[in-house]
Amino acid sequence: MSELHKFVFEGLPVRGLLVRLTDSWQDILKRRADNLETGPYPEAVRHLLGEMTAAAVLMQANIKFDGALILQLHGEGPLKLAVVEVQSDLCLRSTAKTIGEVTPGMPFEDMTNQNNLGRCAITLDPAGRRPGQQPYQGVVSLYDDHKQPLKRFSDVLAHYMLQSEQLDTTLVLAANDKVAAGLLIQRLPTGGIANLGGSKTMAEEDAIGQSEDYNRIAILANSLTSDELLQLTPDKVLHRLFWQEELRHFAPEPGMDSPRFVCSCNRERVSNMIRSLGREEADSILSERELIEVGCDFCGQQYRYDAIDAAQLFIQGQPPAPPPSSALQ
């Protein structure tokens, strides 16, 4: 089962999150692989999309935003677009679109950032958004302050967080076909927090890159390999990295509060769409092919209807009435 672990370092201005997506990540890949029109994502795309999915869960859990956090990668290369959406209850879904060949092991910058034109966008879309209210969106390029292409997606997000939140952040991400996992370490502002460190160096500690405690823990976090992150249990990962630190580890939230895959598409919606076409149009499609096939553009799930299925739609429910003639004028 997919899990999200939260932890803090006692007496230090540092917190962390560790996510391990298993069933939810496999559901995403299975829907895409079962799509007869598209087939599975290329290996390099699967791994990058898995890293993005783990990262989006970490970001949503970190800021606890009431609404949807949407992480988008607009690529300049064979990967045209990758999108991850995570709701406040950690329901998630992911998708990607390619326009060229993605070879096995293709580097991140070749896949997404040719000519330094790729970009990453983080959108916060509040729940119950009022008319006229716009979502918040931040955009960051896929290169560093010296215009050098960033080599990993985790570097892109760390760069974004440093610019937007002005807080040191370390991200370690990894994914394969079974697991998508991520570790986030973030320095907390010390000002106004009485139990975190001594007040004599608060101003210095709040400067970016100046916290010795954060820097030490970040070095430990960056020693984690992809294989360790994917293969070890969360408890073993935390022990492997921080066994000498005084760590307070909060038990993962079970059940409906854990990360899980949910897409808004369903068979009922597709059935209503076919009903809206009318029986004559449905029969016309079936006269040319054996099945009516409708695929979800986001998750790739395909819904198939044979002649018997289609006939049942018009027996069980009437098609919607046509618009009044005034609406056609």
Q: What is the CATH number of the domain that holds 305?
A: 3.90.1280.10
Is residue 143 classed as helix, strand or coil in its secondary structure?
A: strand
Is the CB of residue 292 less than 8 Å from the CB of residue 282?
yes
Question: In CATH, what number is assigned to the domain containing residue 69?
Answer: 3.55.30.10
pLDDT, averaged per 10 consecutive residues of the chain (329 residues), comes to: 93 94 96 89 96 97 92 94 95 94 93 92 90 88 90 92 80 97 89 41 55 91 96 95 92 75 88 88 87 85 87 68 36
143 and 253 in a single domain? The answer is yes
d(CA 323, CA 60): 42
pLDDT of res. 291: 87
Place of tokens 């390999």: 225
CA distance 215 to 211: 6
Residues 278 and 251 both lie in one domain: no
* CA–CA distance, 182 with 99 (Å, rounded to integer): 28
In this structure, the answer to whether residues 78 and 142 fall within a common structural domain is: yes
Q: Is residue 81 part of a domain?
A: yes
**Model pTM?**
0.85
Domain identity same for 153 and 231: yes
Q: Which of 6, 7, 3 is nearest to 21 (CA)?
A: 3
User: Hey, how many other C-beta atoms are within 10 angstroms of the C-beta on 216?
Assistant: 15
Are 118 and 256 found together in one domain?
A: yes
Q: What's the pLDDT at 210?
A: 67
Is the same domain home to 288 and 303?
A: yes
Q: Residue 100 and residue 102: Cα distance in Å, rounded?
A: 6
Q: Do 252 and 293 have their domain in common?
A: no
DSSP 8-state symbol, 172: E
- 329 belongs to a structural domain: no
In this structure, the answer to whether residues 252 and 272 fall within a common structural domain is no
Same domain, 167 and 301: no
Secondary structure in 3-state letters for 79-133: EEEEEEEECCCCEEEEEEEECCCCCCCCCHHHHHEHHHCCEEEEEEEECCCCCCC
Burial of 154 (0-12, 13-18, 19+ CB in 10 A): buried
Statement to judge: residues 106 and 228 lie in one domain:
yes
Are 62 and 48 in a shared domain? yes
Q: Is residue 327 part of a domain?
A: no
Say if residue 286 is in the same domain as residue 154. Answer: no
Q: What is the distance in angstroms between the CA of the first residue and the CA of the last residue of the chain?
A: 55
Can you name the residues that pair with 83 across neighbouring β-strands? Answer: 72, 95
Query: Which structural domain, as residue segments, surrounds residue 286?
Result: 267-321
Comparing CA positions, the residue from 166, 113, 162, 180 lying closest to residue 141 is: 113
Name the nearest CA neighbour of 25 among 54, 62, 5.
54
H or E element that contains 270: helix 267-277
Give kind and range of the element (H or E) at residue 183: strand 180-187
pLDDT of amino acid 252: 81
User: Which one, of 213, 241, 247, lies nearest residue 225 by Cα?
Assistant: 241
Q: What is the pLDDT of residue 133?
A: 82
